[in-house]
Amino acid sequence: MTDDHSWVGPTAEVPRRWHRWVIPSVAALAVLALGGGAVAYWQLADRGDEDPGVTACRSAGFVVRAGEGEVAPDDEVQRVGELFQRSAHEDMRSAGVFAVGMVQRVQRAQDPRDAPEAVKLRQGNLAAAVPRLIAACAQHQVTVKG
């Protein structure tokens, strides 16, 4: 028996070439995945004890859009309104409850029997509520994205 591997030919080099780029690539992807997972975990873990008002501010973009005439889903309005009501921050609670309440009133004011003056008054109140909400959220380092 001999150690002559001439019968194998050039295919014997393929595994070495394969190892040269596959193993480092897999290792790099694993490091990226673990790093990304750790960052995502820390971001979510930090929000676990977050004030409900801050959580509501992150979801309050529909208030800005409603001020521009877009209709917000009722379940989203209800959910965010409840979060604002549970906030420990008085300024955020007050501004958020008022703004969400105005969104509800404006959206319910689609009744053609309403006087045009009443509809304009509600829309004006919503227009005033939006900057107040944005300012209250900004005091707690949250940007309301419309």
Walk along the chain (146 residues) and give the pLDDT tens digit of each residue: 556 555 555 555 555 666 677 777 777 777 777 776 665 555 554 455 789 999 999 999 999 898 888 888 999 999 999 999 999 999 999 999 999 999 988 887 666 676 777 777 778 888 899 999 999 999 999 998 87
Between CA 108 and CA 117, with CA 112 as vertex, the angle to 5 degrees is: 80
Burial class (CB in 10 A: 0-12, 13-18, 19+), 9: exposed
Considering just the CA atoms, what is the radius of gyration of the chain in Å? Answer: 28
Residue 57 contacts residue 142 (beta carbons within 8 Å): yes
